[in-house]
Amino acid sequence: MKTIEHWIGGSPTLSSATATQPVYNPATGAEQARVVLGGAADVDAAVQAATAAFETWSESSLTQRTQVMFAFRQLLVEHEEELGRIISAEHGKTVDDARGEIVRGREVVEFACGLGDILKGGFSDQVSRGVDVHNFRQPLGVVAGITPFNFPAMVPLWMHPIAIATGNTFILKPSERDPSAATFVAELYQRAGLPDGVFNVVHGGKDAVDAILTHSGIHAVSFVGSTPIARYVHERATAHGKRVQALGGAKNHAVVLPDADLEFAANHITAGAYGSAGERCMALSVAVAVGSAADGLVEVLERKAREVKVGPGDAPGTEMGPLVTKAAQERVENAVGTAATQGATVVVDGRGLKVDGHESGFFTGPSLLDHVTAEMDAYREELFGPVLAIVRVDTLDEAIELINANPYGNGTALFTGSGEAARRFQRKVGVGMIGINVPVPVPMSYYSFGGWKDSLIGDSPIHGPEGIRFYTRPKVVTTRWPQPRQQVAAGFSFPTAG
């Protein structure tokens, strides 16, 4: 049985603790590896390695750091298929979907390759007689990322390329459910020329997380996961003096107006709801059908949900793989049953699906629920599975009110042919990321990713310009260079320009 170890100081490292946890193949239900579960001692070892590496890495030239990023980016291209299959085997998503997350993560690496222009400071000449002012940004030190199972490559890639390119050293605590991608990325960094200790991986559960949140040698923590854990991370880490990015859960709505092309809308909503088995923080989990659009939309969504090809992630033609664990499968199927007892119409029932040759896999089919109300569990809870709930309203303003009353504010979409409706929607809706005829509005790497309300705890979005600010701090330098033997009088009152 393979054992997945930490990566500390440039090499695989066994945990100081003896605890391990199984890693499953979701398509078969079989245990395929065991991952070590680290604790405070392992985090401390990673901090020591990262602290030592920071002394030289923080003083390296911007050219050296971007050269490493260019090389790392090329290795991600060359090994996209291999990394995609590693992700698929542990997460369950299709290999094509896994390759897609690698590409989106690689875009942040490309953004990091161009930091030379972004990190340029400002200079003000002669702000006072003989006095100039300039500013620049410096890295924080050792920083850490705690990332979820649903994007084992992409979400960490939202963090560490920017942190490392700006001169920090990094400790990643990936999900213990699909940990192998993190180690593979560490090996690619080493091949790209990144010095040992700049990028480290510590596996584990809550013990490792708590050690990261409280260790005095870690200066910032980035987190993506559920809202309750995001609150915990934010409160615990800030209490220990750290900067925190904490991205939480979501309940994303797609609003469909009567003037929308229903075939187009249903195509994209189906992909947004059932892609990656709905295990995305930007998945569409609610379709809001406005007025006369409702019956036609349900009809098309039903047809398309029944056409989704479910199977192993590495099988040709598969569009949706299994859920990540048996517990996730049971939770999602129980939610469909609860929706039925609470009055929802189960238009498509994905429960009890068996895939030939993979009967022990964690599969469930797409489920489509109609006549869902805001009081039902299927609407209120983040199901994180292939379940799409349809809520019927009479007007666009009602749809906006529904979305704004929801505690989450991550992403939303509007399907319409009306520019006026689109403009009203994007200005009035209280959500951080909005798509107009775009189902999953994840922004490009040179914009920042982050929602509103319970989807973002604190005020620090991730990657893009906000990422640069998060991993650096500014210095402002005021200088005067008097001529030799020139006497400059000093005043005892508060200094002013003049």
Helix (H, G, I), strand (E, B) or coil at 413: strand
Kindly state the tokens that stand for 182: 């993190």
CA angle (57, 35, 457) in 5-degree steps: 60
Q: In what order do the strands lie in the sheet with 472-480?
A: 123-128, 131-139, 472-480
d(CA 179, CA 36): 10
Dist. CA 470–CA 476, nearest whole Å: 17
Angle between helices 293-307 and 262-274 (to 10 degrees): 50
Cβ count near 121 (within 10 Å): 12
CA 368: distance to chain centroid? 26
The C-alpha atoms of residue 240 and residue 341 are separated, in whole angstroms, by: 46
> CA 469 to CA 459: how far, in whole Å?
12
Rounded Cα gap, residues 409 and 429, in angstroms: 9
* Residue in 186, 194, 254, 281 annotated catalytic: 281
Is 281 a catalytic site residue? Answer: yes
* Partners of residue 412 on adjacent β-strands: 253, 434
Sequence-ordered strand ranges (E) for 60-194:
123-128, 131-139, 142-146, 169-173
Query: Could you give the residue numbers annotated as active site?
Result: 281
